[in-house]
Amino acid sequence: MRFMIIVKASQDSEAGVMPSEELMTAMGNYNEELAKAGILIECDGLQPSSKGARVRFSGEQRTVIDGPFAESKELIAGYWLWQVKSKQEAIEWVKRCPNPMPGTDAEIEIRQVFEAEDFGAEFTPELREQEERLREQVKKR
């Protein structure tokens, strides 16, 4: 099972405050543990929403909204993508994580990634083949 582990933003992360050397070292060590355990697929931190944009869809119309966005607690500061056996295993790994926002309360969200079999008959053999081709193209990059 794949899970996306989402680090919620804080006022500091949204203000562009960079993590301390101590936190970067702790996170680096944690990421090494994840890699050695064979569960880490990918991870990264995200720039503040002030450097981002949103595209709102309304029928055929598209509207671009430049950041920053309100409610930092609803925004994402970083993420991991993991391959684990269960949600419980993901929870146990998250509980071992250093506090990503030292000096304040922080929250990490755990969300399971859809797999092909989750989509049922609507995910036709042709769509499955297309998905596999796309994944292979991405791997080659």
Q: What is the pTM of this model?
A: 0.88
Q: What is the pLDDT of residues 13-45, one digit of tens each?
A: 999 999 999 999 999 999 999 999 999 999 999
Whole-angstrom distance, CA of residue 99 vs CA of residue 27: 9
Q: What is the pLDDT of residues 41-92, one digit of tens each?
A: 999 999 999 999 999 999 999 999 999 998 767 899 999 999 999 999 999 9
| 41 Cβ contact partners less than 8 Å away, ≥ 6 residues apart | 2, 80, 81, 82, 83
Q: What is the pLDDT of residues 115-127, one digit of tens each?
A: 888 998 899 999 9
pLDDT at 139 over 90: no
Q: 111-123: b or e for each residue (b if 16 or more CB lie within 10 Å)?
A: eeeeeeeeeeeee
| Domains and their CATH numbers in the chain | 2-116 (3.30.70.1060)
